[in-house]
Structure 1
Amino acid sequence: MNQNSYRGGRHKKADPSTAFRCSVNFTASEQSKLLSMQEQSGIESLSAFIKMQIFGKPFKVHVVDDNSRIFIDRLSNMNNHYREIRISYNLMLTTLRENFNEKKAMAALYKIEKMTIELVKLNREIVALAKDFDERWLRKSP
């Protein structure tokens, strides 16, 4: 007779230590406070949140301000534009070198240099404004 050790049903867990469970009773106000804390933490599982609280693992609350998000989005769009300008600048220099004589190329290069200096000044102003915004609004200590 060939005996099969598997009789059907659920497979045994690799880590049987997860079988222990605890039960806690809350009042309505405690339950709502617990749920609001769990929502602020961003952890989807309530059991994982409770474990973190019991075993002393800190959780961080990230508050997303719409104005700061919009500012950061626009700032990253400006950085993308600067990247595009840099690529266009390199392409334009190679085109000037290949297609124009030296006098016309130098005149165009002089104009490009003036515009580049203005862009650098504008970029420095933007960076200063971003640092000021960061210091005033984003780094609030509790």
Structure 2
Amino acid sequence: MEENRKQKQKNVGRKPKINPSTHRHVFRLTNEENAKLLSLFEASGMNNKAKFIITLIFNRELKMVKIDKDALDYHSKLSALFSQFRAVGVNYNQIVKVLYRNFSEKKAAAYLFKLEKQTAEMALLCQQVIKLTQEFEAKYLK
């Protein structure tokens, strides 16, 4: 009976690792060194400090991805603005069709003249946005 219990106990618990980490090393850091190590660890995005230190020691390739939230916000708002420009272009085409369908040519031309002025202002605004975007990329996205 005891022999059966011993056999059953061997099959329970966590399976042993193939290559367990058994050697331990301790080192001490100054406050500045510790702050630098912690900032590198946070920037790396790794969730295990021991694996991070091993990666640094043995010069394995360490990938760090830095996300600039301001640039991400700027890009998303710029994309929304250009989608609105496209929507205005679609509306512009629809207005031109409606004007020629429902009004005389003279009246339609008068309304189109007003629409052209607004379109020219929008084109200038678009050029300013492009210029500001180029400046932003040159200054902050290196």
- Tell me the TM-score normalized by structure 2: 0.63
**Which deviates more, 126-135 or 19-28?**
19-28
Q: What stretches of structure 1 move > 6 A for 4+ residues in a row?
A: 10-13
| Residue 125 in structure 1 maps to residue 128 in structure 2 | yes
Paired with 2:95 and 2:13, the residues of 1 have a C-alpha distance of 68
Q: Judging changes above 3 Å, is the alpha-carbon distance between structure 1 residues 95 and 24 closer, same or farther for their aligned structure 2 residues? A: farther
| Equivalent of 2:84 in 55, 58, 81 | 81
| Residue 25 in structure 1 maps to residue 26 in structure 2 | yes
Give, as a single letter, the amino acid of the residue that structure 2 aligns with 1:56: R
Identity of counterpart residues, as a percentage?
29
Give, as a single letter, the amino acid of the residue that structure 1 aligns with 2:66: H
Secondary structure at 2:101 match in 1: helix
Greater RCO, CA 8 A, separation 6+: 2
Unaligned residue ranges in structure 1 (runs of 5+): 1-6
Paired with 1:138 and 1:46, the residues of 2 have a C-alpha distance of 30
**Pairing 1:43-54 to 2, within 5 Å after superposition:** 43-46=46-49, 49-50=52-53, 52-53=55-56, 54=58
Paired with 2:12 and 2:45, the residues of 1 have a C-alpha distance of 36
C-alpha contact 2:41 2:49 (8 A) present in aligned 1: yes
If you compute each CA radius of gyration, which structure gives the higher value, 1 or 2?
Answer: 2
Cα deviation, residue 48, structure 1: 5.3
Cα deviation, residue 84, structure 1: 2.4
| Equivalent of 1:105 in 99, 105, 108 | 108
Give, as a single letter, the amino acid of the residue that structure 1 aligns with 2:105: E
Unaligned residue ranges in structure 2 (runs of 5+): 1-9
Cα deviation, residue 124, structure 1: 1.2
Q: Deviations over 1:86-120 (max 9, x none)?
A: 23223323322433333222222222222222211
Which residue of structure 1 lines up, in the alignment, with residue 64 of structure 2?
60
Kindly report the root-mean-square deviation, in angstroms, between the aligned alpha carbons of the 2 structures.
Answer: 3.4
Cα deviation, residue 37, structure 1: 0.9
Paired with 1:23 and 1:98, the residues of 2 have a C-alpha distance of 84
Paired with 1:58 and 1:120, the residues of 2 have a C-alpha distance of 46
